[in-house]
Amino acid sequence: MSAMMTTTADAQASPTHTPSAPGSADFDLDVWSRARLQQVEQALDRWVTADVPLGLSHGAPAQLVEAMRYAVLDGGKRLRPLLVLAAHYAVCHGASSAQGISTQDIALRAACAVELIHAYSLVHDDMPCMDNDVLRRGKPTVHVQFGQASALLAGDALQALAFEFLTPQDGKVPPSIQARLCALLARAAGSAGMAGGQAIDLASVGLPLTESQLRQMHELKTGALLQASVMMGAHCSTPNAQALEGLQAYGAAMGLAFQVVDDILDVTADSTTLGKTAGKDADNNKPTYVSLMGLQASKAYAQQLLRQSLHALDATGLAHTEALRALADMVVNRAH
């Protein structure tokens, strides 16, 4: 992924032209998102229960399920599920079924699965042995509410449940698609992705990182799961090689942009706005784009990454990328 990224100098020297957005004149992100967020929320509420309809022969312990639901329901931007559904929309627009199987149902399962992986990572990251945070999504963190042992188990269970979502036994997801989606999600969440990035983050506290080292850390810790969300949406069907290449580049640029903006917001927004403790990175002496590049250069870099992501969508050859374009713009310009 790092080959797709530009340097600070590139970011400051790049033209301000924003690529075209075919098909987007009448697109309303709020309307599009609202309907899909409702679908995701209802599916999570229905599936994250003691009687999960995924082939389990018995219910889970009530307190564990309560902690799982607390971690994943009623909070968060749901950006990763929206990216899954936006990529599916771009690739499958006008052809929502294949071989008699609804790709929309597959995309909804993928959207919920990636959100469970994200939720589990937050539960574990907030624990005292990691970031030791007490506020997440505007409410006490899971270990504060339920205790450390329950939080650890809830995170474990959410991670496992994500892969159950992708592997139903009722034939609704073809085995070949199950394999592709599971592989994408596992790689993005593991040592070469999110977990590896978190390990680098913990080992980098108080250390001066170069821009290349900081970029690598964030490409793994944050960017890998965001990029995987895009690719999982695409792989709910069978996209062509050109579309896949462009979507991968879009996911890489947009994923890094998200973290750059997160670093900006950590110093410019308050805890109420963020839904988590503001200023934690500086307090913990963690390397960030703002500490490395400065606030204004970080903002310029985020805009450069936005342009890069839109150029990547131009290269896909897909006619309906308006949702992906609008989400990238939302990610970067939430800082303003």
How much is the pLDDT for 164? Answer: 95
> For 23-66, what is each residue's pLDDT tens digit?
456 889 999 999 999 999 999 999 998 664 444 445 568 889 99
How much is the pLDDT for 57? Answer: 42
How much is the pLDDT for 127? Answer: 94
Question: What is the pTM assigned to this prediction?
Answer: 0.87
Of the given ranges (57-66, 193-202, 257-266), which has the lowest mean pLDDT? Answer: 57-66
How much is the pLDDT for 104? Answer: 92
How much is the pLDDT for 10? Answer: 38
What does the DSSP assignment read for 297-334? HHHHHHHHHHHHHHHHHHTT--S--HHHHHHHHHHHHT
Q: What is the mean pLDDT of residues 256-278?
A: 78
Q: How far is CA 254 from CA 36, 104, 120, 124, 184, in A?
A: 20, 24, 22, 24, 17
> For 105-149, what is each residue's pLDDT tens digit?
999 999 999 999 999 999 999 999 998 899 998 899 999 999 999
pLDDT-above-90 percentage for the chain: 70
Q: What is the mean pLDDT of residues 185-208?
A: 94
Q: What is the mean pLDDT of residues 274-288?
A: 65
Q: Are 162 and 185 in contact (CB under 8 A)?
A: yes
Judge whether residue 234 has pLDDT over 70. Answer: yes
Q: Are 157 and 64 in contact (CB under 8 A)?
A: yes
CATH of domain 26-333: 1.10.600.10
> For 66-77, what is each residue's pLDDT tens digit?
999 999 997 789
Those residues whose C-beta lies under 8 Å from the C-beta of residue 282, and which sit 6 or more positions away, are 266, 267, 288, 291
DSSP letter, residue 276: S
How much is the pLDDT for 278? Answer: 56
How much is the pLDDT for 17? Answer: 37
How much is the pLDDT for 16? Answer: 36
How much is the pLDDT for 105? Answer: 93
Measure CA 108 to chain center.
15
How much is the pLDDT for 53? Answer: 46
Average confidence score pLDDT of the chain: 86
Of the given ranges (166-175, 279-288, 299-308), which has the lowest mean pLDDT? Answer: 279-288
Q: Are 204 and 287 in contact (CB under 8 A)?
A: yes
How much is the pLDDT for 9? Answer: 36
Q: What is the mean pLDDT of residues 226-236?
A: 97
Distance from C-alpha of 132 to C-alpha of 137, rounded to nearest angstrom = 15
Q: What is the mean pLDDT of residues 206-227?
A: 94
Question: Does residue 278 or residue 226 have the better pLDDT?
Answer: 226
Q: What is the mean pLDDT of residues 273-297?
A: 75
Q: What is the mean pLDDT of residues 93-106?
A: 73
Tokens 């944050």 sit at which residue? 222
Instruction: Encode burial over 72-83: b for 16+ CB neighbours within 10 A, e otherwise.
Output: beeebebbbbbb
H-type alpha helices, the chain = 8-13, 29-47, 62-72, 79-92, 103-125, 142-146, 148-166, 175-189, 194-203, 211-218, 224-234, 241-268, 271-274, 280-283, 289-293, 295-314, 322-333
pLDDT-above-70 percentage for the chain: 82
Judge whether residue 311 has pLDDT over 70. Answer: yes
How much is the pLDDT for 219? Answer: 95
CB hemisphere CA count around 273 (13 angstroms): 12
Give the tokens for residue 308.
């890069």
